[in-house]
A and B are shown apart, each in its own frame.
Chain A
């Protein structure tokens, strides 16, 4: 047995949020995003934050994990804040002055508002990826995209592509690790020299990785053809997911509440 390679962000747990259909959660994320952009004041943000906290609570996902996504954005967020708050020689009264540089009260407020909005969006939408497996996500996506098929959009094919990508991410990761170790054994060094030298050191890893990927793609095409794959049309599904009454109830009531908050506050 190999150690389960977890990718994506799914946090396994039994919760009312986990058991919602992926399509329901996608609908909720859409409503949430719309609401966050409709909100134009701090009270609105506060209500939204409360909602997200409640969602986290019900889903049993540790807040620590939900907040992880923010870390990656620290630089960007700090920059946003500074860009809004700092003014060059403002005519208005400033909070703090440092030579020609000044921190402007209105700007600061605006910056904080933007930052909080982004944080809310990131944490709120991550509730979807934290409680839904990648497989459920692609399945849901396929269903959501299906109406587009009428317009000629290859919804089935896109979903198949995503499924295959998901299927081969762990395999490719295992393969990359194998090649890395093998080339290390042949004396390759990945930790010496400047950035250019380091990047070059990865050529003996990337080349075989890609060669093998292409070979795999060829085999896979043959395997799919042999098993009668001929596009998304007319395919049935073993585990077709369906929205239940509970899903509809949750979707409609929560979405309505979110939009209402967005419009009012």
Chain B
């Protein structure tokens, strides 16, 4: 479990804290969607989770290890994989498999095990067969999945992703979301920052940050079921939810958890 207790974080020289009074738990096998406008503290929050940043006040611990514990920093970083927005800026290797191997190479994992880890990680994100491909010849979606594989090769218990789909097209986005769903099923705990509520409709929990504080903490279905609440948090409800809501006002019973086109139509014309 990653646990944040009453965390406050102030960047050196900043007047206001980037995070204030944040407490939350990330559990293995569960996905948290993290939303909030630009500058609300999302990136700061996830960087606290793998000891890239240390809290000004409060504590952050990973499986019971305090992130401030200098001796454990590499253990923490290998337990908490981190993926950033721009896939191009986080791929180190000159060919796919060498990039995936980068993390475990740093830990001194022996070559034979490296091979196993690399093959497993590439398979987990559906990139088997592209081992020798150079990164600049991959599509954006493939590059982002490569970055995820690079984190997975460290065998993390948690994966935190900072807007991993922001630079991808619809197809690339769908591939990355599918890869994340598969990882959740394998028991990896996921924190997924996004601007699109659609991306995290399947998450176990959605947290919305505003000005460095948790402004909402609940299920995605509860959030989309309350458009005015979502609106006040600055989050656009997906059009299909607006449609479902309008149907309800027309007196047609549509379940609250019907948040896809299929779901809505199913409730009107059951197949």
Q: Do A and B associate with each other?
A: yes
Binding site for B on A (CB under 8 A): 1-2, 4-5, 134-135, 163-164, 166-167, 170-171, 174, 215-216, 219-220, 222-230, 234-240
Is residue B118 within 8 Å, beta carbon to beta carbon, of the partner chain?
Answer: yes
* 7 sample A-B contacts, Cβ–Cβ < 8 Å, listed by A number: A4-B134, A167-B94, A225-B77, A227-B92, A228-B107, A229-B106, A230-B106
Q: How many whole Å from B38's CB to the nearest CB in chain A?
A: 16
Which of B91, B105, B106, B147 has the most chain A CB atoms inside 10 A of its CB?
Answer: B106
Is residue B165 within 8 Å, beta carbon to beta carbon, of the partner chain?
Answer: no
Of the 9-residue stretches B21-29, B81-89, B167-175, B200-208, which lies at the interface with chain A?
Answer: B81-89
Which of A4, A134, A167 has the most chain B CB atoms inside 10 A of its CB?
Answer: A167
Among candidates B95, B104, B111, B147, residue contacting A135 with C-beta atoms closer than 8 Å? B95
Q: Cβ of A222 and Cβ of B52 under 8 Å apart?
A: yes
Is residue B125 within 8 Å, beta carbon to beta carbon, of the partner chain?
Answer: no
Is residue B93 within 8 Å, beta carbon to beta carbon, of the partner chain?
Answer: yes
Complex-state Cα separation, A238 to B98, whole angstroms:
7
Task: Find chain A residues with CB under 8 A from B115 CB.
Answer: 238
Is residue B36 within 8 Å, beta carbon to beta carbon, of the partner chain?
Answer: no
* Interface set, chain B 105-140, CB cutoff 8 A to A: 105-111, 114-115, 118, 134-137
Task: Find chain B residues with CB under 8 A from A224 CB.
Answer: 92, 102
Complex-state Cα separation, A1 to B224, whole angstroms:
38
Complex-state Cα separation, A230 to B77, whole angstroms:
12
Q: How many whole Å from B68's CB to the nearest CB in chain A?
A: 16
Among candidates A4, A5, A163, A219, residue contacting B89 with C-beta atoms closer than 8 Å? A219
Which chain B residue has the least Cβ–Cβ distance from A240?
A: B111
Complex-state Cα separation, A239 to B88, whole angstroms:
22
Task: Find chain B residues with CB under 8 A from A222 CB.
Answer: 47, 52, 82, 84, 90
Q: Cβ of B105 and Cβ of A216 under 8 Å apart?
A: no
Q: Cβ of A238 and Cβ of B105 under 8 Å apart?
A: yes
Size of interface on B: residues with Cβ below 8 Å to A: 42
Q: How many whole Å from B133's CB to the nearest CB in chain A?
A: 10
Is residue B101 within 8 Å, beta carbon to beta carbon, of the partner chain?
Answer: yes
Given A226-B52, A227-B150, 8 more A-B residue pairs with CB atoms under 8 Å apart are: A163-B93, A163-B94, A167-B94, A225-B52, A226-B81, A226-B151, A228-B74, A228-B78
Which chain A residue has the least Cβ–Cβ distance from B137?
A: A2
Which chain A residue has the least Cβ–Cβ distance from B135?
A: A167
Task: Find chain A residues with CB under 8 A from B107 CB.
Answer: 228
Complex-state Cα separation, A238 to B147, whole angstroms:
17
Among candidates A225, A229, A238, residue contacting B101 with C-beta atoms closer than 8 Å? A238
Among candidates A167, A225, A229, residue contacting B93 with C-beta atoms closer than 8 Å? A167
Task: Find chain A residues with CB under 8 A from B97 CB.
Answer: 238-239
Q: Cβ of B135 and Cβ of A235 under 8 Å apart?
A: no
Is residue B225 within 8 Å, beta carbon to beta carbon, of the partner chain?
Answer: no
Q: How many whole Å from B169's CB to the nearest CB in chain A?
A: 15
Among candidates A220, A237, A240, residue contacting B92 with C-beta atoms closer than 8 Å? A220
Task: Find chain B residues with CB under 8 A from A234 CB.
Answer: 106, 108
Complex-state Cα separation, A240 to B81, whole angstroms:
25
Complex-state Cα separation, A106 to B79, whole angstroms:
73
Task: Find chain A residues with CB under 8 A from B106 CB.
Answer: 227-230, 234-235
Is residue B18 within 8 Å, beta carbon to beta carbon, of the partner chain?
Answer: no
Q: Cβ of B89 and Cβ of A223 under 8 Å apart?
A: yes
* Interface set, chain B 45-88, CB cutoff 8 A to A: 47, 50, 52, 74, 77-78, 81-82, 84, 86, 88
Q: How many whole Å from A211's CB to the nearest CB in chain B?
A: 13
Which chain B residue has the least Cβ–Cβ distance from A170?
A: B136
Task: Find chain B residues with CB under 8 A from A227 CB.
Answer: 77, 92, 102-103, 106, 150-151, 154
Complex-state Cα separation, A86 to B19, whole angstroms:
77
Q: Cβ of A238 and Cβ of B118 under 8 Å apart?
A: yes
Complex-state Cα separation, A5 to B147, whole angstroms:
22
Among candidates B93, B108, B147, residue contacting A235 with C-beta atoms closer than 8 Å? B108
Complex-state Cα separation, A239 to B96, whole angstroms:
12
Which chain B residue has the least Cβ–Cβ distance from A215?
A: B89
Complex-state Cα separation, A219 to B86, whole angstroms:
8
Q: How many whole Å from B82's CB to the nearest CB in chain A?
A: 4
